[in-house]
Structure 1
Amino acid sequence: MQVRLIEYTPQPIKTIYVAARTCYSARTPEEVGKTLPSETRMKALIKRIISQGHTSILEHVTFSFSICDVSRACSHQLVRHRIASYSQQSQRYVRSHGEFVIPPSIRRRKRAGELFRRVVDGLYASYCALLDMGISKEDARYVLPNAQTTNLVMTMDLRELVHAASLRLCSRSQWEIRTLFQKVKREVAKKERFVATLLVPKCKHMGYCPEEDSCGLTPKK
């Protein structure tokens, strides 16, 4: 799996601060932007307003990621976060090259790994055979498994990114999409560490664990 940040809103802290101040100021957004306090004070205001639930100010900042070699099972989970934009590699137009994601629980066990490889290799062979028979890629793809790799571009505003990360960074989330969001957070941190600190499991926002089976990171309510 490879995740790369390919585009984002310049000066995200300034953008969020100006949006926040505009809500409570008689000045225009442009005027607010010309008289900025220190970055420390901007961050403090942003944190306070977010803690009050005024998270719409985060929507003015967006991040676009290149996401490669994740499974179709993972991408199906990802696109359930609907307040985002996705452009995904099409199985209708792009021929599969027989690359699959093998879950660690299967990879660790020899017999399970052998069975998995036998099944997915057989499915890929059937896919190729259908193509050789003249079946179109859009129909032959029906035999491909959820393990098939895919590439996509994902764009999210920061409000949705915080929400998605709060669910997917939880230790109870599925391993592959949790790994994806761990990589997303690392990419964001390379550009703006303060913004990355907002990407945490939901228990860190709530102050307690709402899950029935807690990992112990925060106390249960």
Structure 2
Amino acid sequence: MKELKNMKITALKNNYKPTDIAVGSARSCYFGKHIVTPEDAANWDKKNELLSSIFKAGHHTTLMHYHFTFLIEGMSRLLIWRLLHSHPFYNSEQISQRYAKMKIDNFTYPKNADKEKWQSFYEEMFSYYEDLIEKLIPIIEKILPKFQKKSAKKKAQEFARYLLPMGMNAHLYHTVNVITALRYITAAKVIPEAKNEAKEFIKQLKEQMLEIDEELRPLIEFAENENVIFPEIDIKKIKEKHNIKNEQVKVFDIVDYDFELNANYAGVMRLSSMYLDESILGSFNSYIKLSLSADAQNQRHRRSPAIRPKLKDIYKKDFYIPPVIEENKEVKDIYLKAIDRSYEFFEKESIGLGFGEAAYALLNAHNIEIMEHDDFNEFAHKAQMRLCYNAQEEIFDIVYNQVKQLKNAGVSAASKFLPPCAVRYKQGLRPICPEGERFCGIKVWKLNFEDYNRII
């Protein structure tokens, strides 16, 4: 047997310019002798001519090799939700409002707003947030099993965060390729909320890109002048078509196709996303009403795309109340008082500032309506992440409802949508629960789906 002596793999170091990699990769497609390196591209006298030609022709895969990793601080969750996490072509690691205590000095102020008035509002909401945490801790301690009582404060933070405004800032690592960064520049021109903050983001984004590679300038200028619209989405029309009334979740347009739940779905490497099978042939759409907080979690499932209309077009005073708050009068009174105050402030401010800028005052609890599409391959992964008893409660309930409706519709594959422990148990993997010390304490893999019952 002959040895494979001709294979050679070289990992590119981080010191190459995006445009050199783009042109080198483009020329390699047509150069028969050997691969064209970034150094070769940098020294080629027709580099910029080819770069401009392939970019304007829409041949953008060459710009997907290089990735920027941006360290972002002081960006509102409103802008992150609307722009950075509203598409599938990114990776982020962001400060968690579930597990980290928020700070009062961490808010975005709308342009032209009365800063003193907004600061007073933010401080008021933050006071409600802190008060709710203190009131919830003893309530949650009584609910949690003994070995989990130490996590009562973090659980309290998880529920209290619904009272934080979308103007609260976050810090994050955010990684995108060159073409996605250029799309941000174009898309920000028509963003319906946080428009002024988006302008500042784009200004700094361009500066950072040009600092790395000045030869990106013509592409940036092209992106600045590209035509773009923000889609007009008639949610009411879609709801009427599918007879959606007052449901929180409604599944429709089901394409049933069964698949084998095998080791690729059970392992932590998620190899079902690499070795695709019949699961990609099954799919469904969903109408979902959920809080802005839950949708921020939902967006992390990048293969589960959703239509998110302008907030103004779907606005109504509608909000989520966690069950643990609903069931306790004292904390519910605090919660509702904060909710009422936020809507009062938001509606007054929207008159002068406009809806898109005043939207910073909307709370995490504010409900929106989205339309989501899932294929069975992606949803098998989503179900594992969100049917875990450690998942955020609201999104757990949403995914449980989706699976329940698929089961009720007689979908053959619905029995495959399970939490990770149940999938691993079926495949004989150990440990059954992959969460280690975060194990919820309940042997969910032994329960029937109908018997899933989270205590909190």
Above 0.5 in TM-score? Answer: yes
Residue of 262, 269, 272 corresponding to 1:51: 262
**Residues 1:150 and 2:368 aligned together:** yes
The alpha carbon displacement at 1:197 in A equals 0.2
Q: What is the DSSP-based 3-state SS (H/G/I as helix, E as strand, rest coil) of the residue aligned with 2:286? A: strand
Aligned residue for 1:28?
Answer: none
- Deviation string, structure 1 residues 127-153 (Cα, Å, up to 9, x no partner): 111123x32110111101000001101
- Match of 1:81? 301
Q: Select which of 342, 345, 351 maps to 1:123.
A: 342
Shift of the alpha carbon at 1:4?
1.1
Answer whether contact 1:87 1:153 (CA < 8 A) is retained. yes
Per the alignment, do residues 52 and 113 of structure 1 end up closer, same or farther by CA in structure 2, a change over 3 Å counting? closer
Aligned to 2:257: 12
Q: Does 1:66 align with 2:293?
A: no
1:96 CA displacement: 3.0
Question: Per the alignment, do residues 95 and 201 of structure 1 end up closer, same or farther by CA in structure 2, a change over 3 Å counting?
Answer: closer
Q: 2:283 and 2:315 mapped to 1: Cα distance? A: 31
Q: Which residue of 2 aligns with 1:201?
A: 419
SS in 2 for 1:73: helix
Answering whether residue 249 of structure 2 is matched by residue 3 of structure 1, we say yes
**Quick check: 1:127–1:140 contact (8 Å CA) kept in 2?**
yes
Checking the alignment, whether the CA contact within 8 Å between 1:5 and 1:188 is kept in structure 2 is: yes
Q: Measured at CA, do residues 194 and 95 of structure 1 come closer, stay the same or move farther in structure 2, by a change above 3 Å?
A: closer
Query: Which stretches in structure 2 are left out of the alignment for 5+ residues?
Result: 1-246, 265-270, 426-431, 447-456
How much does 1:72 deviate?
0.9
Secondary structure of 1:147 counterpart: coil
CA deviation profile, 1:146-187 (whole Å, cap 9, x unmatched): 000011011011111000001111112111111101110012
Q: 1:110 aligns with which of 329, 341, 346?
A: 329
Query: Does the CA contact (< 8 Å) of 2:345 and 2:361 recur in 1?
Result: yes
Q: Does 1:90 align with 2:314?
A: no
CA distance in 2, matches of 1:183, 1:104: 16
For residue 52 of structure 1, report the CA deviation from its aligned partner: 4.7
Q: Return the alpha-carbon distance in structure 1 between the equivalents of residues 283 and 404 of structure 2.
A: 16
Determine the C-alpha separation between the residues in 1 that align with 2:344 and 2:445. Answer: 48
What pairs up with 1:137-216 in 2 under 5 angstroms? 137-207=355-425, 208-211=432-435, 212=437, 213=439, 214-216=441-443
Distance 1:138 1:87 in 2: 18
2:304/2:373 contact within 8 Å kept: yes
Q: 1:217 aligned to 2:436? A: no
Higher deviation after alignment, 169-178 or 139-148: 169-178
Number of residues paired by the alignment?
181
Deviation at 1:218, TM superposition (A): 4.2
2:257–2:412 CA contact under 8 A, matched in 1: no
**1-structure distance, mates of 2:412, 2:313:** 39
Task: Out of 147-156 and 55-64, give the one that drifted further.
Answer: 55-64
Query: What fraction of aligned residue pairs are identical, expressed as a percent?
Result: 22
> Structure 2: how far apart are the matches of 1:124 and 1:178?
27
Q: Shift in Å at residue 107 of structure 1?
A: 1.7
Partners of 1:95 and 1:217 lie apart in 2 by 37
Cα distance in 1 for partners of 2:347, 2:314 equals 9
TM-score, structure 1 length as denominator?
Answer: 0.75
CA distance in 1, matches of 2:341, 2:366: 13
Equivalent residues of 2:309, 2:370 under 8 A apart: yes
CA distance in 1: counterparts of 2:263 and 2:339, whole angstroms:
50
Q: For the aligned residues, what is the CA RMSD?
A: 1.9
Q: RCO (CA 8 Å, sep 6+): is it higher in 1 or 2?
A: 1
Letter in structure 2 aligned against 1:89 = P
Gaps of 5+ in 1: 14-45
Q: 1:95 and 1:205 mapped to 2: Cα distance?
A: 38
Q: Kindly provide the amino acid, as one letter, of the partner of residue 107 in structure 1.
A: E
Task: Letter of the 1:122 partner, please give it.
Answer: R
